[in-house]
């Protein structure tokens, strides 16, 4: 039984999600205490519980303490099995945060899986769904991952009700990424949508994003206005993806009540401009989310980031607890260079 203090580092939900994912991947039981100790409402919220139960469902785990507001859980994994699974957050809790736990387990398992997850597709404090579709999955495909995300219905705060289907096919052994340079910019694509709101909102969001990127080849931003037939509630998001010679850089913003569309678009555009101009080979959020996949490779990987978030530093600490891997972080001018170095396994 591995003991993990949930208050370590950023002390939030990502530590818990990553811990149960690694427990399933490594086949090692885990006891996580002090769950979300640094948050204003400590303990398991519905989306965190769904993430735990999604991983438990994939590997037939036995759990104790898996209930809303619980501050500790025991997670005893079984073997990951293929098949079809349905998971419902039950609120507008983020589908993408549930996938942060479930997708690495599915990828590492080597079996075919089909997941349907119900909840919020584009909510605050979580990656918008299109970031996973147009930034994270293309990066993973370069590692040999075969996965597809289909949006069945969008859902927003406070009602949720969004539905996403995820298919993961068996992959060859994960290939490392050696991203010492991003390479030249090829194109910028954008994906902006609003649901059950006036059309001018998505237009203003896209225009303000374009205004932040005047020095680059004119981005192409797809704009969608969704109705009640394909979206529950009112909301929206914008995701920008810069395709470089060797990588993909992303940035995003999610619609919030009372925040003008111009500010949202400008934020996404500014963040992408900063990523491209810095020379980073993974954007700040991808640097966080790609760590677990790079740690599963049998050969070294590396990347450059503008900075490492507290989520990333906590994830690095956690990965070294479960897997035979070590990380080296050094300065490379104004960037951080991260090396992911597999270690020899102990025993015969």
Predicted model pTM: 0.95
For residues 95 and 168, membership in a common domain is answered with yes
Give the separation between CA 204 and CA 257, rounded to whole angstroms. 15
Give the tens place of pLDDT for each residue, 230-270.
999 999 999 999 999 999 999 999 999 999 999 999 999 99
- Choice among 48, 134, 285, 311 that is catalytic: 311
Identify the domain boundary among 175, 195, 215: 175
Give the tens place of pLDDT for each residue, 287-328.
999 999 999 999 999 999 999 999 999 999 999 999 999 999
Q: Which CATH number fits the domain that encloses residue 190?
A: 3.30.360.20
For residues 206 and 260, membership in a common domain is answered with yes
For residues 240 and 266, membership in a common domain is answered with yes
257 Cβ neighbours under 8 A, 6+ residues apart: none
Residue ranges making up the domain that contains 48: 2-175
For residues 117 and 189, membership in a common domain is answered with no
**Token pair for 82:** 């293929």
Tell me if residue 134 is catalytic.
no
For residues 58 and 121, membership in a common domain is answered with yes
199 phi and psi angles, rounded to 5 deg:
-60, -30
- Which run of H or E residues covers position 166? strand 162-169
* 346 pLDDT more than 70: no
For residue 309, give the 3-state DSSP assignment.
Answer: coil
Q: Is residue 92 part of a domain?
A: yes
Mean per-residue pLDDT over the chain, rounded: 95
Give the separation between CA 153 and CA 159, rounded to whole angstroms. 13
Of 223 and 170, more confident: 223
Q: What is the pLDDT of residue 348?
A: 36
For residues 145 and 189, membership in a common domain is answered with no
DSSP category for residue 94: B
Give the tens place of pLDDT for each residue, 151-202.
999 999 988 999 999 999 987 799 999 999 999 999 999 999 999 999 999 9
Of 124 and 344, more confident: 124
For residues 240 and 154, membership in a common domain is answered with no
Q: Which CATH number fits the domain that encloses residue 75?
A: 3.65.10.20
For residues 171 and 194, membership in a common domain is answered with no
Question: 94 with 50: CB under 8 angstroms?
Answer: no
């Amino acid at each position: 039984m591995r003991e993990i203090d949930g208050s370590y580092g950023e002390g939030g939900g990502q530590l818990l999600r990553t811990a149960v994912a690694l427990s399933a991947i490594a086949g090692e039981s885990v006891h996580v205490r002090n769950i979300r100790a640094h948050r204003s409402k400590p303990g398991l919220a519905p989306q965190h519980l769904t993430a735990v139960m999604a991983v438990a469902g994939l590997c037939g785990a036995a759990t104790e303490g898996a209930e809303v507001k619980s501050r500790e859980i025991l997670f005893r994994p079984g073997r990951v099995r293929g098949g079809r699974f349905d998971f419902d957050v039950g609120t507008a809790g983020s589908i993408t945060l549930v996938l942060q736990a479930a997708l690495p387990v599915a990828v590492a398992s080597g079996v075919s899986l089909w997941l349907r997850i119900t909840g919020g597709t584009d909510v605050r404090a979580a990656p918008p769904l299109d970031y996973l579709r147009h930034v994270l999955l293309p990066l993973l495909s370069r590692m040999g991952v075969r996965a597809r995300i289909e949006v069945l219905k969008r859902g927003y705060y406070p009602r949720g009700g969004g539905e996403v289907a995820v298919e993961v096919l068996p992959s060859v052994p994960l290939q490392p990424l050696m991203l010492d340079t991003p390479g030249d910019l090829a194109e910028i694509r954008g994906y902006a949508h609003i649901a059950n709101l006036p059309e001018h909102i998505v237009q203003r969001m896209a225009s303000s994003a374009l205004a932040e990127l005047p020095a680059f080849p004119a981005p192409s931003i797809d704009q969608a206005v969704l109705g009640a037939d394909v979206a529950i509630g009112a909301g929206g998001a914008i995701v920008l993806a810069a395709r470089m010679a060797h990588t993909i850089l992303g940035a995003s913003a999610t619609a919030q009540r009372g925040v003008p569309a111009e500010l949202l678009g400008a934020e996404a555009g500014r963040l992408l401009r900063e990523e491209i101009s810095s020379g980073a080979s993974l954007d700040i959020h991808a640097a966080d989310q790609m760590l677990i996949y790079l740690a599963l490779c049998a050969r070294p990987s590396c990347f450059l980031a503008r900075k490492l978030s507290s989520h990333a530093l906590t994830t690095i600490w956690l990965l070294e607890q479960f897997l035979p891997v070590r990380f080296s972080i050094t300065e490379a001018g104004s960037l951080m260079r991260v090396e992911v170095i597999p270690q020899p396994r102990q025993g015969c």
